[in-house]
């Protein structure tokens, strides 16, 4: 089982960025815990602040890996390109958001990814990544 977590813009600042919304753990520390918890599967992590790099990564893994856990962050609400990439690849994608995007500003209610995702998880903090991984097992 080969899974990858792909995080989009500003998620490299997790732990420092708006901790009241996104929590105070850095993703790197959290990812180490995830790798320990799911030690029997191949679990990778990739983060970029650049839309095209996220698309390139989806193309790279999208015909080979068993699953993608994708938090495209702000690009979720704006990027036809990332939405098209999710549609183009064969690997199933679970869309995830740390915060409850539907309890926030209206512009966060729109997703260009959800229609082509296997499922969507939001509002459970970092725990959502664990739930997304479990959905592939
Ligand atoms: C987010 C929600 C997005 O609206 C926001 O732009 C983010 C993070 C989340 O994980 O809650 O950067 O995807």
Which structural domains are found in the chain, ordered by start? 2-134 (3.40.50.9100)
The ipTM value here is 0.99
Strand partners, 70: 6, 95
* Rounded Cα distance, 10 and 98, in Å: 13
- Choose, from 65, 75, 97, 129, the residue flagged as catalytic: 97
If you average pLDDT over residues 59-87, what whole number do you get?
A: 98
| Closest atom of ligand 1 to CA, residue 122 | 11
pLDDT of residue 19: 87
Give the per-residue pLDDT at 60. Answer: 98
Q: What is the pLDDT of residues 18-65, one digit of tens each?
A: 888 888 888 999 999 999 999 999 999 999 999 999 999 999 999 999
Please give the number of the atom of ligand 1 that sits closest to the Cα of 104.
4
CA of 39 to the centre of ligand 1 (A): 27
Q: What is the pLDDT of residue 25?
A: 85
Report helix, strand or coil for 77.
helix
pLDDT single digits (tens) 88-137: 999 999 999 999 999 999 999 999 999 999 999 999 999 999 999 999 99
**DSSP secondary structure, 94-120, as one string:** EEEESS-GGGS-GGGS--SSGGGSSEE
Which residues line ligand 1 at a C-beta cut-off of 6 Å?
10, 71, 73-74, 76, 97-99, 101, 108
* pTM of the predicted structure, to 2 decimals: 0.96
């Amino acid at each position: 089982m080969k899974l990858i977590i792909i995080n989009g813009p500003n998620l490299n600042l997790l732990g420092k960025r708006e901790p009241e919304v996104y929590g105070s753990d850095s993703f790197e520390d959290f990812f180490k815990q995830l790798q320990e918890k799911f030690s029997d599967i191949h679990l990778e992590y990739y983060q970029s602040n650049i839309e095209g790099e996220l698309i390139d990564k989806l193309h790279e893994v999208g015909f080979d890996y068993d699953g993608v856990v994708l938090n495209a962050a702000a690009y979720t609400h704006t990027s036809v390109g990332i939405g098209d990439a999710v549609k183009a690849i064969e690997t199933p994608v679970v869309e995830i958001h740390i915060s409850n995007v539907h309890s926030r500003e209206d512009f966060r209610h729109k997703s260009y990814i959800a229609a082509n995702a296997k499922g969507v998880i939001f509002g459970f903090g970092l725990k959502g990544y664990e739930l997304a991984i479990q959905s592939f097992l």
